[in-house]
Amino acid sequence: MSAAAADDPRLGAIFAALSDATRRTVIATLLAEGEVSVPMLTERLPITRQAVAKHLATLDASGLVEPARGRGREVRYRLRPGALAPVSAWVREAETAWDARLARLKGAAEGAAG
Amino acid sequence: MPESAERVRREVLIEADPETVWEQAVRTEAWLDEETADELDVGEGFAVREEGRTREGVVEAADPPGDGRPGRLVWWWWEEHGPATRVEVLVVPSGPATRVVVVEDLPARGPVMAGAAWGPRLRGLRTAAVGRVVVPA
């Protein structure tokens, strides 16, 4: 078995975490602003504080984010460094694989048609 | 994060008619296994080997092209320890040629879990799909 990106044991948890539209928005906010907190996200998203906290817990469990102590008792979250690397690796690998499959298909279909 | 961070989209223009491209894609190229390609039943499970790696999968939709209509083939696949991803292949008439568009991604909605849990889940899906069989024309 090759050391393929799809075999990365972190990938399943990351994909599961990213399958939710709200959690994608949280990640997008983190990429834009660096840190988020429960109060900040509750203000911006049409969901309850409890739901925000649950989404952040899921992202934390997937390894995508980590808590960072903010001012006072407020917990802020930031992207864990390198957390998206398995996703980037999977994308690059899948792109390469499809380029090869489509090139083979083009050759075979044009040969059969010509 | 951009909407497409974990989505791969590739396309190619092929100088052949859509029916020929479809045949080559599902049979000669063996993206699915041979037995699956013969029937292309929705819900059909399959296994493919590519460069020493084995993927299991299940067909979600299979509508061959014809009379100017595009063909559409959708399946899910996964490696033993990897997450399941969804592949959608469109075979679209483009003048005398054919455009093939492939999108592979994780589902935008719905229950997604680590690959290990997908096998039984998708075999259930296969059972549920019985009665909605699509046979190539």
One digit per residue, the tens of pLDDT, for chain B of length 137 reads 344 457 899 999 999 999 999 989 887 766 776 666 666 777 778 888 887 888 888 888 889 999 889 999 999 888 877 778 889 999 999 999 999 999 998 754 433 333 333 444 444 444 443 333 333 33
* DSSP state letters, A45-90: SSS-HHHHHHHHHHHHHHTSEEEEE-STT-EEEEEPTTTTHHHHHH
Looking at per-residue pLDDT, the higher value among A51 and B50 belongs to A51
> Average pLDDT of A60-88?
86
Which residues of A lie closer than 8 Å to B, measured between beta carbons? Answer: 1-2, 4, 6-9, 11-13, 15-16, 18-19, 21, 24, 27-28, 31, 84, 87, 90-91, 94-95, 97-99, 101-106, 108-110, 112-114
Please provide residue B32's backbone torsions phi and psi, each rounded to the nearest 5 degrees: -105, 175
- Chain B residue nearest residue A24, CA to CA: B1
> How high is the pLDDT of residue B35?
66
DSSP count for chain B of H helices, then E strands: 3, 6
DSSP state for residue B84 in the 8-state scheme: P
Whether the per-residue pLDDT at A114 is higher than 80: the answer is no
> How high is the pLDDT of residue B64?
92
Any bridge partners for residue B80, and if so which?
none
Describe the crossing of helices A9-18 and A49-62 by its angle, rounded to 10 degrees.
Answer: 160
- CA A78 to mean position of chain CA atoms: 13
Q: Which helix (H) or strand (E) holds B27?
A: none
> Average pLDDT of A35-58?
94
Residue closest to B79 by CA, chosen among A105, A11, A87: A11
- Closest-CA distance, B51 to chain A, in angstroms, reads 9
B97 in contact with A at a CB cutoff of 8 Å?
no
DSSP state for residue A23 in the 8-state scheme: H
Sequence length of chain A is 114
Residue A104: pLDDT band (50, 70, 90) is very high
- Sign for the CA dihedral angle at B105, B110, B116, B122 comes to negative
**Cα-Cα end-to-end distance for chain A:** 38
ipTM for the whole complex: 0.74
> How high is the pLDDT of residue B3?
44
- Closest-CA distance, A13 to chain B, in angstroms, reads 6
> How high is the pLDDT of residue B122?
45
- B124: Cβ contacts below 8 Å, ≥ 6 apart: none
A9: left (phi over 0), alpha (psi -120 to 50) or beta: alpha
Whether the per-residue pLDDT at A31 is higher than 70: the answer is yes
Contact B113 A113 (CB under 8 A): no
Which residues of B fall within a CB distance of 8 Å from A94?
8, 85, 104
Contact A15 B81 (CB under 8 A): no
